Each structure stands twice: as structure tokens, then as C-alpha cells.
Amino acid sequence: MNETLRPYLGKSVVVYLDDILVYSQTLDEHYTHLEEVLQRLRTQKLYAKPKKCVSVTKELEFCGHIIGDGKVKAVAMKLEVIKDWPRPTNVNEVRRFLGLATYYRRFVKDFAKIAVALHNLTKEADEELRKQKFRPITWTEQCEVAFVRLKEALVSAPVLVQPNRTKPFTIETDASEWAIGFLLGQEGQDGKMHPVAFDGRKLRGAELNYPVHEKELLAIKEALRTWDRYLENGTKTTIITDHEGLQYLATIRAYSKRLARWIDEFQG
């Protein structure tokens, strides 16, 4: 389906498996986009069933999200499932909870940082123990804090705004001992900054030993890569970071190979 509708992807169409979302700015434009999509499907002998279609609506559910009026929010029923999720007792239950929670990670600031203790429960050095799908876990205070914080953050998740590629973006980054996080935002008509999406990840391997200023730079690099599809047209973007140590980079005469690669990527 992606290949069939490739000319319209990112312009007026979103595809997930065999679900197609057609979006437009005006009603006349929407009729044009619908005709283009239906004609394209017909050329491939693919036909949409009217009973399964929702047409000309300002809001609809798509892939577990409510989309409309320039905003995105999580489906209430899914959030209720998360709210009532019982404390996990084995690795499989931890993975199931993290699977659902991760699906809505874009709504949660510092998701990766909060979830570290839960992700650590799924690790096991012993190969035989790794094969045990329902192996018991040691539930610590850190796990309980992470579990409760994630549930609270998801249930009270903010409404996200749809990105507008004609307006400037703002990226805010943060780095901790174990994870990096970043926010993509845009100023609304009310003059306030509104979130488009949150993201981040755990630090891995050698990254855990990076000095703080390099972790902050890594957060910037990952944010730019994650949201490249929004920024690729040269849209003005402001990056906000709270680490003053980055200022010293301007005084360095010779960068390490890693820093040189990153800075070259930023400039490219």
C-alpha cells in the first residue's frame, strides 16, 4: 500500500498497513485528494469498501489516536487500560506493559529516563534464564516508582499539535546519567509553545561513559535524526539545551573524531 500511494505520502496521505488516512487543509482540497487516492487505488485494482470508510470529518480515530483540528491525543480507552494495569510479576508482563506504554511514548516527556528501571527487568545475562518467558522478577522501589510515574504520565498525557512545516520549530533536549530526552514544539496562535512530540532513548554501551557535554550533544544529534522529516526542508529550528558546558566547544581547537563527526553532521 505504501508503494501504491507513495506519490502522496507525507503530502496528503498516511498509510499504516491497509489503513489509509487522507488529510487536507480545505474541503475542496480534500475532495481532490480523495479522488487522487481512489483513482490510484483503482489503477492497482484495489477498492475501498464504503462501509469501512469515514469521509469528510474533522476528527477520527486512527491507529490508537484521536486526530483532528490540528491536534493528536491518545484514545481514552487505551489510557484506561494503562491506568488499571496491575503490577507485573514476571518478565512477560513487564514486556507487555512496556509494549503498550512505548506505543504512546511520544506523549510523555522523559519516557526513556522514567522507564529505565522497567527495561532493566527484561535483561538477563544467563542464556537459559533469557529463554524463560515467564521468569519471575525482583520488583524494587525504583521499579514501583517507574511503573507509577509512567502510568500517571500516560493517563494525564498532553494533547499534541500537528506539525506545521511552514512555521519554525523548537527542540528542547536533556541528558541524564542513563538516558537522553527531547521535545519537538511549535508556537501556537496563543503565543505559547505546544508539544508536537516527545522522544528519547536509553544510553547504550560506551555512551554511558560520555562526559555530560557529549551526552547533551548526543541528545541534539538524536533529536535532529528523529525529526528530520519535519526539518529537512530548511525550516528554521531553535535548539534549547540547559547544559552550559556546551559553550566551551567554541574554544576547542581540535575535536575528538566523534565530536568532529557530530559537528560535521550538524553543519551538513
Sign of the Cα torsion 94, 100, 103, 105 reads: negative
State the pLDDT at residue 102: 94
State the pLDDT at residue 58: 87
Report the C-alpha gap between 234 and 134 in whole angstroms.
49
Fold of 163-267: Ubiquitin-like (UB roll) (3.10.20)
Low-confidence ranges of the chain (pLDDT < 70): 125-127, 243-255, 267-268
Where in the chain are the domains?
6-56, 74-155, 163-267
Any idea which architecture 74-155 has in CATH? Answer: 2-Layer Sandwich (3.30)
Burial class (CB in 10 A: 0-12, 13-18, 19+), 163: buried
**C-beta atoms surrounding 81 within 10 Å:** 13
Q: Is the pTM of this model over 0.85?
A: no
Of 171, 161, 166, the C-alpha closest to 223 is 171
State the pLDDT at residue 140: 95
State the pLDDT at residue 207: 93
Exposure string over 107-132, b if 16+ CB within 10 A, otherwise e: bbbbbbbbbbbbbbbeeeeeeeeeee
Of 164, 161, 148, 163, the C-alpha closest to 107 is 161
pLDDT tens across 107-128, in order?
Answer: 999 999 999 999 999 987 666 7
Exposure string over 25-42, b if 16+ CB within 10 A, otherwise e: eeeeebeebbebbeebbe
Report the C-alpha gap between 71 and 260 in whole angstroms.
39
